[in-house]
Amino acid sequence: MKRKSSNYILYGVAAGLYPALYFFSRKPDILTSLEHYLFIFSFFLLLPTVSFLIIEKTSNYSKKYDKERLLTFYGVFSFLVLVQQITFVQHHKKLIILSGVVALIISYFFYRHFLKIVVLQLLLSILTIPLLYDTIKLKNSYSKNWIKTSDTIEEAVFKKKPNVYFIEADGYANFSELEKPLYNVKVDSFKEFVFSKGFKHYPNFRSNYPTTISSNASLFAMKHHYYNLDLKSDEVQHGRDIIMHDNATIKAFVNNGYNTTLITDTPYLLANRPKTLFKQSNYGFWNVSFLDNGIRKHRNNILEYFDEVLSEDFNKEQFFFIQFLNPWHIRTKSKNSKGGDIEKEKWLEGLEESNEIQIKLINKIKEKDPNALIVITADHGGYVGYDYTNQTKVKTTNRDSIMTIFSSNLLIHWPNGNNPEYDTELKSSVNLFRVLISYLSNEKSYLSNLQDNSSYIILDENTHKGIYKYINDSGEVTFEPYYIPD
């Protein structure tokens, strides 16, 4: 008996429904844009469904079981490939080939059980409903109210309008921490270079949060988020949207007529395709994957793109956000770690590369724009001393083991070398832009709303799972519960 078209639609939905629902339930931080939802619908549901309908219309076999085998093969193959797409950050050709081999074997020997396979795929989809419910409930509970400032700093009127270059070297610990036992590394030649170029160094500067998204969201919003009191992730929800669009810092620059440019070696900050106040970027719409988090083995050459932009004649003031993953940090998970010593060696290699990139950037900027405001910092420390970053979830009272998480370098080239007397307030990243905007606007009143400089982390071993203050406002290591769920 000939199958109805509705059956083929069911086969297509069955092949893609579980991967689609599972992806949504596990990646709520990436799935935030309309483009993403359209892609998920098209890639996971529409594509396999249309493919099955094409099979129905075009396949003409003399033997019934040949068509049954084709249906079984495509149903199993598409399911396995889609599961692979949501499981691995990078796409693996070998796994796709393996999926084809497995589908071929199943279709040859078990084609008579194809409907049972379809039912099994649908049952797996049903199993995701609890996860789906929790995700929707969690997403609906998130609020961006924390980003609201208690003053009108985003409306600040700049009295000074130098071009501003904000350079973020991921995981670059402060010079003052590099001299401590865990790092035990000297960067004398690099220090001599930056000092010769007129930079001022800020010892013991640190981040307030331990990851890129959580730290940058706080930095650009100039506020603490305390992880939205959500212990399921080390990041802050809507973090990318806040960094790219919903923050007082970029709005202040835009309101003062600045052209804004994002230059980054990976599209990590763009993984959810957020709205953005950056007018241009080295990553276009089709350069950002719909499935992975943007961390790739192949990274863009930020220096080449920066050369292109810098070669243009500026007809208005410029704000650059230049971000690159050097020296980065040690491996995140234990299964990927080579051990603390080897991870440190790799970090040191990244440190050398980072220094080279910074030197080239500084030379290019100084040649084009000698009186620019240049800020070089990091999103967090390098985690050197640990075997892998997830070890930081274990409570410790060791000073160096805590500082290696948060220590961030800070170098500032103040135009004409005139740093404000209140740059002594530059102790942590949450207040960095508040000080800079106060300087640009000649308005000290904004400093009355400086945030607490404490650094926070989520711990779940050797203590109750919760959010803890690990470094206090004075820069001293502490252990104070901030949020412990009932």
Q: Do 131 and 164 reside in the same domain of the chain?
A: no
CA proximity to 173, closest of 343, 409, 446: 409
| pLDDT for the residue numbered 318 | 98
d(CA 159, CA 441): 5
In a domain, 458, yes or no: no
d(CA 187, CA 351): 9
Q: Do 136 and 182 reside in the same domain of the chain?
A: no
Q: Are 246 and 482 in contact (CB under 8 A)?
A: no
In a domain, 478, yes or no: no
Q: Do 364 and 434 reside in the same domain of the chain?
A: yes
- Domain boundary pick from 140, 170, 205: 140
Q: Do 201 and 128 reside in the same domain of the chain?
A: no
Look at residue 28 and give its three-state secondary structure: coil
Q: Do 316 and 441 reside in the same domain of the chain?
A: yes
Q: Do 201 and 120 reside in the same domain of the chain?
A: no
Q: What is the full DSSP assignment across 65-94?
A: HHHHHHHHHHHHHHHHHHHHHHH-SS--HH
In a domain, 327, yes or no: yes
Residues 6+ apart with CB under 8 A from 355: 187, 190
CA proximity to 202, closest of 436, 371, 470: 436
Q: Do 173 and 119 reside in the same domain of the chain?
A: no
| pLDDT for the residue numbered 75 | 87
Residue 315 has which token pair? Answer: 């007809």
In a domain, 314, yes or no: yes
| pLDDT for the residue numbered 343 | 97
Residue numbers of the domain that contains 123: 5-140
Q: Are 459 and 481 in contact (CB under 8 A)?
A: no
Residue located via tokens 């003399």: 62
Beta sheet of 477-483, edge-to-edge order: 455-459, 466-471, 477-483
Q: What predicted TM-score, i.e. pTM, was given to this entire model?
A: 0.91
Strands 455-459 and 259-264: unpaired
Contacts 24+ apart (CB under 8 A), 131-134: 131/21, 131/22, 131/25, 131/26, 132/21, 132/24, 132/25, 134/25
Q: Which helix (H) or strand (E) holds 251?
A: helix 248-255
- For the purposes of burial, counting CB atoms within 10 Å of the CB of 235, is it exposed (0-12), middle (13-18) or buried (19 or more)? buried
In a domain, 231, yes or no: no
Tally of domains within the chain? 2
Residues 6+ apart with CB under 8 A from 413: 197, 198, 199, 200, 372, 373, 374, 375
Residue 343 has which token pair? Answer: 């991870």
One-letter amino acid of 172: Y
What CATH number is given to the structural domain containing 371? Answer: 3.40.720.10
Q: Do 162 and 121 reside in the same domain of the chain?
A: no
- Domain boundary pick from 111, 140, 169: 140
369 HSE (CA, 13 A, CB side): 25
Residues 6+ apart with CB under 8 A from 170: 212, 323, 324, 325, 326, 327, 328, 329, 378, 379, 380
Residue located via tokens 């429904």: 17
- For the purposes of burial, counting CB atoms within 10 Å of the CB of 223, is it exposed (0-12), middle (13-18) or buried (19 or more)? buried
Q: Do 250 and 293 reside in the same domain of the chain?
A: yes
In a domain, 476, yes or no: no
Q: Do 127 and 265 reside in the same domain of the chain?
A: no
| pLDDT for the residue numbered 60 | 66
In a domain, 466, yes or no: no
Centre a 10 Å sphere on the Cβ of residue 10 and count the other Cβ atoms it contains: 17
Q: Are 428 and 453 in contact (CB under 8 A)?
A: yes
Q: Do 216 and 354 reside in the same domain of the chain?
A: yes
Residues 6+ apart with CB under 8 A from 367: none
- Domain boundary pick from 97, 119, 140: 140
pLDDT mean by block of 10 residues, the chain; 486 residues: 70 92 82 86 92 79 70 88 78 78 88 88 91 80 88 97 98 97 96 98 98 97 94 87 97 98 96 94 88 80 96 93 96 92 97 98 97 98 97 97 98 97 98 98 97 97 96 97 93
Q: Do 174 and 314 reside in the same domain of the chain?
A: yes
Q: Are 377 and 167 in contact (CB under 8 A)?
A: yes
Q: Which helix (H) or strand (E) holds 361?
A: helix 340-368
Residues 6+ apart with CB under 8 A from 11: 48, 49, 52, 71, 75, 118
Helix axis angle for 47-58 and 64-87, nearest 10°, is 170
In a domain, 205, yes or no: yes
Q: Classify 379 in phi/psi space as left (phi over 0), alpha (psi -120 to 50) or beta.
A: alpha
